[in-house]
Amino acid sequence: MNNKKNFVFIMTDQHNPDYVSYSKAAKVDTPNIDFIAQGTVFENAVTPNPVCTPARCALLTGKYPHQVGMMTTSGCLNTNYPTYARALKKSGYNTAAVGKLHLMQGWHWNVPVGQGHDLVELKEETKKYGFDYVWETAGKGLMLKNYCDYAKYLDKQGLLAVYRNEVIRRDKAGGHPEYPDTAESFGISEENHVEQMIANKAISFIKEQDKEKPFSLLCSFLSPHPIIDPPSRFLEMEGLNMDEEFLLREGQKELSDDMKKRWCENRRGYRALIRFIDYQIGRIIDVLKAENILSETILVFTSDHGDVLGNYRIDGKNLPWRESSTVPLAIRHPDFVNGIRVEDPVSLIDIPATILDIAEIDYEKALSLFWPVWNHVVPCKSLLPIIKGDTKKVRDFTFTENDGFEMIQTKNYKYIRYRTMTKEYSTPKEKLFDLQKDKSELTDVSKLEGYSDVLKWCREMRDYTLNSTPAGQMGWAPVRD
């Protein structure tokens, strides 16, 4: 008889932390995500990198992006790095990944349509990350260049050209504050929608499991990342709220009435997509109940990064601000459904450590290599002591990085150091925000009297993190027996 817990790890893409109904802001109704939040809610969960590929690589490995050579959406995660999925598989779990992985970005953005990765052909390579079963879909816009399992499905339905033409039509508006993405269907039925298909595959995997063997399922949805394409019935559930607040930084102009209306319509579609995903999560939970395994299953819900949604007159991610760098995170352990809320910071890299800890696997050992050098450095921490109620925090700060900045965040402060990319040395720019007084992160206090000690400490923690977590080296040349 199997006595190990199963894992259903559910991810969304580009999910603002306020857009779940268990949050204090509660900007959209998400009853099924709230079910997961009956366990433990981490109100200050910070991504190690507010960009898709590096955040996902960190989630899989429990290491910072710079440790695995994935600082931005460029290149492919080396399959030799240890992953939590591989550790579970080695321990006897049946492992699966369904939906968006985005661990490979080996092509330049300007390649022609259809000339990216053939993820169907690369499936055996993808399985090397630690998965027995893979049903992968590219991101919405990425499907213009990549061929994946969902693209193959659409192809058979005669819908792939329809999908790609819609991406081309709407792509020019993406990422520009003057032209936020409109909220409208792709002209593809709800039953053929990518989120519905991902849930279908996840449900099939769960139903097919041998009850004598534990399983781990990564179910990764594409939304609410643009393109904003909710099915019409979910869009109709969300009214247009013209009283939306849009944050501005010093010197920025107010949005025009027309532009505000466009952004309000965009946010309406964003909420509708989250409702649609919440519906799919409910379907998955219902199957766990029907299979009588909910009491033996750990549910994890999070996202890779957030979305500023028109605040500061910009769209998207890749920013240090809370809406981009913080994500929703809830974990429901059936033995510890205690309604705990955690205000101290945690990092997304702590999720693989938590999963392995629950599975009674030494995560520091499982996620490290003795050789090549520096692969033994594992900075993630298990959240299980918090979930069990044994402690209130496992770290004092989180570290976030990308190609533009590095960030230290505590419960009360946020420090940002911008990278200098010039050939000659220039003094790095830095900012400090007092989150106790300025939750919107609008006032830089780095040069104000009374903050010198905090600034000094944050600088030291940034230096310590980078110095203590060097990049793990990788080799390819064969060694003689």
Q: Comparing 193-207, 302-316, 418-432, which segment has the lowest mean pLDDT?
A: 418-432
pLDDT of residue 362: 98
pLDDT of residue 49: 98
Residues 6 or more apart whose Cβ sits within 8 Å of residue 306: 14, 15, 16, 17, 47, 50, 317, 322, 323, 324, 325, 326, 327
pLDDT tens, 209-239?
Answer: 998 999 999 999 999 999 999 999 999 999 9
3-state secondary structure of 293: coil
pLDDT tens, 3-46?
Answer: 899 999 999 999 999 999 999 999 999 999 999 999 999 999 99
Residues 6 or more apart whose Cβ sits within 8 Å of residue 51: 72, 73, 305, 317, 318, 402
pTM tops 0.85, yes or no: yes
How many CB atoms sit inside 10 A of residue 214's CB? 23
Number of H helices, E strands in the chain: 14, 17
Beta bridge partners of 217: 8, 96
Q: Per CATH, which fold does 6-387 belong to?
A: Alkaline Phosphatase, subunit A (3.40.720)
Task: Check whether 174 has a pLDDT greater than 60.
Answer: no
Residues 6 or more apart whose Cβ sits within 8 Å of residue 436: 412
pLDDT of residue 177: 53
How many CB atoms sit inside 10 A of residue 53's CB? 24
pLDDT tens, 426-467?
Answer: 888 999 999 999 999 999 999 999 999 999 999 999 999 999
Residue among 361, 473, 465 nearest 83 (CA): 361
pLDDT of residue 396: 97
Angle, helices 194-207/257-290, rounded to nearest 10 degrees: 20
355 close to 299: Cβ distance less than 8 angstroms: no
224 close to 277: Cβ distance less than 8 angstroms: yes
Mean per-residue pLDDT for 306-323? 92
Alpha carbons 181 and 317: distance in angstroms, whole number: 14
80 close to 368: Cβ distance less than 8 angstroms: no
Strands (E), 39-184: 40-42, 45-46, 75-76, 94-99, 104-105, 133-136
3-state secondary structure of 80: coil
pLDDT tens, 256-313?
Answer: 999 999 999 999 999 999 999 999 999 999 999 999 999 999 999 999 999 999 999 9
Higher-pLDDT residue of 182 and 64 is 64
pLDDT tens, 380-417?
Answer: 999 999 999 999 999 999 999 999 999 999 999 999 99
pLDDT tens, 86-141?
Answer: 999 999 999 999 999 999 999 999 999 999 999 999 999 999 999 999 999 999 99
pLDDT of residue 3: 84
Query: Which amino acid does the sequence have at 362?
Result: D
CA distances to 150, 256, 312 from 156, in Å? 10, 45, 43
Preceding peptide of 416 cis, ω within 30°? no
CATH 3.40.720.10 in the chain, residues?
6-387
CA distances to 76, 123, 227, 287, 425 from 146, in Å? 14, 13, 16, 31, 40
When pLDDT is cut at 50, 70 and 90, the band that residue 423 belongs to is: confident
The whole-chain average pLDDT of the chain stands at 95
Which residue has tokens 């520091």?
Answer: 364
Q: What percent of the chain has pLDDT over 90?
A: 90
pLDDT of residue 176: 59
Preceding peptide of 224 cis, ω within 30°? yes
Task: Check whether 1 has a pLDDT greater than 60.
Answer: no
CATH 3.30.1120 in the chain, residues?
398-468
Alpha carbons 175 and 172: distance in angstroms, whole number: 8
pLDDT of residue 185: 83
Residues 6 or more apart whose Cβ sits within 8 Å of residue 449: none
pLDDT of residue 173: 53
- Which CATH number applies to 398-468: 3.30.980, 1.10.238, 2.20.28, 3.30.1120? 3.30.1120
When pLDDT is cut at 50, 70 and 90, the band that residue 186 belongs to is: confident
Q: Please return the burial class of 479, using the count of CB atoms within 10 Å of its CB with bins 0-12, 13-18 and 19+.
A: exposed
Reading the block at residue 204, the tokens are 């099939």
